[in-house]
Amino acid sequence: QKEVEQDPGPLSVPEGAIVSLNCTYSNSAFQYFMWYRQYSRKGPELLMYTYSSGNKEDGRFTAQVDKSSKYISLFIRDSQPSDSATYLCAMSRFIQGAQKLVFGQGTRLTINP
């Protein structure tokens, strides 16, 4: 069983829709939770970073963490074609003082105009 599970999609929605992306994890040692966006043939770009259960909002993006259920979500409101990308959840634990990121498989999202 993978430490982080993410539905790979693909997910296709119309412009303006609310998008919900989800990940589950099995390791209680994870302390930080992140969402990255990755465009084709580019490196991952950090979108959201949180360490506690609850919601964190940044513009059209909301990250939600439920540590009791080992479940994290990313919501995108008023989705735009420019949001079309692969979204990666990532979780970290500390090894010898440094954050080691464990990624989900990534969900490929397409926003249709």
Partner 1 sequence: DTGVSQDPRHKITKRGQNVTFRCDPISEHNRLYWYRQTLGQGPEFLTYFQNEAQLEKSRLLSDRFSAERPKGSFSTLEIQRTEQGDSAMYLCASSYGNLEAFFGQGTRLTVV
Is residue 10 within the footprint of partner 1 (CB under 8 A)? no
Instruction: Indicate if the alpha-carbon torsion angle 37, 43, 48, 52 is positive or negative.
Output: positive
Q: Which of 28, 40, 82, 96 binds partner 1 (CB under 8 A)?
A: 96
Q: Is the CB of 18 or the CB of 27 nearer to partner 1?
A: 27
Residues 10/65, Cβ–Cβ less than 8 Å: no
Is residue 8 within the footprint of partner 1 (CB under 8 A)? yes
Query: How many whole angstroms separate alpha carbon 90 and alpha carbon 63?
Result: 12
Q: Is the CB of 44 or the CB of 65 nearer to partner 1?
A: 44
Q: Is the CB of 18 or the CB of 51 nearer to partner 1?
A: 51
Name the residue with tokens 């990940």: 23
Query: How many whole angstroms separate alpha carbon 90 and alpha carbon 76?
Result: 17
Within 17-76, the residues that bind partner 1 by CB under 8 A are 34, 36, 41-46, 49
Q: Is the CB of 12 or the CB of 16 nearer to partner 1?
A: 12
Is residue 90 within the footprint of partner 1 (CB under 8 A)? yes
Residues 63/48, Cβ–Cβ less than 8 Å: yes
